[in-house]
Structure formats: structure tokens, C-alpha cells
Amino acid sequence: MFNLKWLFIPCLLSAAGAQATSFVMTTDALVSLSMSATGGTSSSFKDDKIVLAAKADAASFVASEGAIRGAQLESALRHIRQTRVDLRYTDEQLARAILVL
């Protein structure tokens, strides 16, 4: 016997995921724009191999709300902070900026 509630649950989860994705994309764009305007990571590191290699780790970090910290992200955060000592962004802000590079 087919139960309709099993169709409802994936639809509900899909809708919630779309809203979360929209929020993340908006937040990422705002962080990127603010960092570009102030000479932050978006303009300085868009071609940096260390930073670009950390995109997957940055995605995991943001999605897990900071619980997952991959080695490439740690390396990129250290590299950014050593290169641009004037930046005062949190790890999450930098991870979000890496995602939009």
C-alpha cells in the first residue's frame, strides 16, 4: 500500500533546502561585494591556488556551521591572514568569500 506522506516529506525537505540555498547565496554575494569593495579576498585571491583549492572545504565548513574544518581550508585561512594582516573577518566570512571566488 502506497502512503502519500512519503511523498510529502521529500517535497517539504526540498522546499526548505531551496530557501536555505537562497539565503546562503545572498549572504555569499553580500560578503563578496563588501570584501571586494574593501580590497578583501575576492579581489586579492581570485587566482590564488591555495585559496581556490579550499572551495570544497569551505563549503563543508559553511554547511556544517563550522563543525567541519578541512586541512585545505585551514591552510587557505592561514595563507589569507598571513598575506593580508589588515583583514579582520571571521573564519565563516572568509569561507563564504572563498565559495564565491
For 19-74, the pLDDT digits (tens) are 444 445 555 555 554 454 445 544 578 888 999 999 999 999 999 999 999 999 99
Calpha distance 35→33 (Å, rounded): 5
Average pLDDT on 3-22 reads 49
Does residue 2 sit within a domain? Answer: no
Question: Residue 88: its pLDDT value, please?
Answer: 87
Does residue 42 sit within a domain? Answer: yes
Question: Residue 20: its pLDDT value, please?
Answer: 46
Question: Residue 84: its pLDDT value, please?
Answer: 86
66, 68, 72, 77 alpha-carbon torsion, rounded to 10°:
20
Does residue 29 sit within a domain? Answer: yes
Number of domain units in the chain? 1
Does residue 1 sit within a domain? Answer: no
Does residue 70 sit within a domain? Answer: yes
For residue 91, the enclosing domain spans: 7-99
pLDDT tops 60 at residue 79: yes
* Cα-based angle 49, 67, 31 (whole degrees, multiple of 5): 55
Does residue 28 sit within a domain? Answer: yes
Does residue 52 sit within a domain? Answer: yes
Does residue 19 sit within a domain? Answer: yes
pLDDT tops 60 at residue 87: yes
Calpha distance 46→99 (Å, rounded): 10
